Amino acid sequence: MPTLNPKLVYLYAAAMVAAVRNRLHSQKALREGKTGLSRLLKALESSESAHGRRFLMYLRGKTTDSETFLEDYLVSKQTDIGPAYAEMIQFYEQAGIKGKAGNFQQFKKVAAAQASLIKRYQDHKEDLPAEIYVCQICGFVTTVQPTANCPVCHAVKEKFSRVGTP
């Protein structure tokens, strides 16, 4: 499998983080009545997003097929992401910051739900429901249309978005 260039991965992540931060601060500036600052930050968001898309195009040239990517993604969730969440939970609990420890507990539950959905796909290939639902608050994924609050973050069911067949 080709190796991804770590600098390119970093640049992609940095651009996307910058875009999101600019979007959030643009919205905050708008609420504060600073329309000029809001426009500037919105423009910077757009610029960083363009950089991110370009970096992603370069990265796509270095990736494997989608099935292999999915396998690698699952392994990453289980061997890198899951343990990192557990470390963060322990860190915040030891620091007495229960709120952040709880947030990382949610991230861990979401990662488990993602892994479960990936395994279901791998075991049954295209035999997934036509619709998948994603909680826009915590990222929880399910193939069952929500009828109650999110089981992870307790957001109301209206916070779920439907991802249908393309």
- Name the percent of the chain lying above pLDDT 70: 93
Residue 16 tokens read as: 């996307």
Q: Identify the DSSP state of 33.
A: T
Here the CATH number for the domain that contains residue 155 is: 2.20.28
Specify the 3-state DSSP secondary structure of 77: helix
Clarify whether residues 121 and 145 are in a common domain: no
Assess if residue 1 is contained within a domain. no
pLDDT tens column, 33-84: 988 888 888 988 988 888 888 888 878 765 567 787 788 888 888 888 888 8
Has residue 160 got a pLDDT over 70?
Answer: yes
Clarify whether residues 135 and 165 are in a common domain: yes
Clarify whether residues 44 and 73 are in a common domain: no
CA–CA distance, 121 with 90 (Å, rounded to integer): 32
Indicate the residue type of 111.
Answer: A
What values do phi and psi take at 149, rounded to 5? -60, 160
Residue 119 tokens read as: 């395994």
Clarify whether residues 117 and 103 are in a common domain: yes
Q: Would you say 86 and 108 are in contact if contact means Cβ atoms under 8 Å apart?
A: yes
CA–CA distance, 149 with 107 (Å, rounded to integer): 17
| 95 half-sphere exposure, CB direction, 13 A CA radius | 12
CA–CA distance, 40 with 26 (Å, rounded to integer): 8
- As a whole number, the mean pLDDT across the chain is 86
Has residue 122 got a pLDDT over 50?
Answer: yes
Clarify whether residues 75 and 40 are in a common domain: no
* Residue 125 Ramachandran class (φ > 0 left, ψ -120 to 50 alpha, else beta): left
Q: Would you say 118 and 73 are in contact if contact means Cβ atoms under 8 Å apart?
A: yes
The domain of 25 spans 6-60
| 128 half-sphere exposure, CB direction, 13 A CA radius | 21
Count of structural domains, the chain: 3
Indicate the residue type of 32.
Answer: E
Has residue 166 got a pLDDT over 70?
Answer: no
- Name the percent of the chain lying above pLDDT 90: 36
Contacts of 138 (CB under 8 A, 6+ apart): 106, 107, 110, 150, 152, 153, 155
